[in-house]
Amino acid sequence: MKRSALLIVAALSLSPLVAAADSDTAGRHLRYVAMVGVDGQLAPITIDVHIGATQHEDVARVDIAERREDGEFARESVAIDRDGTVSGADESLTFEEETILDLLALQFEDLSGVDAGDHWDRTGDLHEGSARTHFVVRETDGPLLELAVNRSIEFPDGSRGGWHGSVRYDTASAVPRTIAIAGAIGAETDGTPRPLSFSAHLVGDSFQHR
């Protein structure tokens, strides 16, 4: 069962980034503040990401934690590879967590020299289901890329979903800086698509302090 963000109604405080990674200070820590909408209901969240060691040239260990109204972190430790495949989660990730992980997998792409109009596709497995993501470069501004992104998802029960939107990606630091998407996913009961939206902004990066 996918974790829901519908009950988040309180403003979220910005505690230190290391809180998402317990006492582990190695690696890189990112923090996103975001707004999630499901069935027309909007809710604020924060997502903390701890990028650990790269196991080899195209697989990285990542801890991801979404903070909710109750103040608890539902932390998952996963592996992501260059195809955007996510493995190792104990339970389903939220669509916003899967989105960030998929975009973090761009770190394995050679994006040097790309220009407006360049495009490519990527397919990978999710914790539940599989996804195909299509990227188009809208424009470039030094190391910053404005990407149009379209993702289609197929779940094990045969239901489908997807989203489209824009991403501002920093090739110098290999992270998405802003995300704005909208789409629909299959409902857990009758498979009727449920409208969703997700907008996020990077507000913390431990590499910026080194």
Give, for all 210 residues of the chain, the pLDDT tens digit.
333 332 222 222 233 343 443 434 578 999 999 999 987 788 899 999 999 877 666 788 999 999 877 666 678 899 888 888 888 887 778 888 989 999 999 998 889 889 999 999 999 887 778 889 999 999 999 999 999 999 998 888 888 888 999 999 999 999 999 999 999 876 555 667 788 999 999 999 998 754
Question: Please, what CATH class does the domain formed by 17-209 belong to?
Answer: mainly beta
pTM for the whole thing?
0.81
Q: Which one, of 147, 146, 106, 145, lies nearest residue 124 by Cα?
A: 106
E strand or H helix that includes residue 174: none
- Each domain of the chain, given as residue ranges in start order, spans 17-209
Q: Which two tokens stand for residue 5?
A: 């963000």
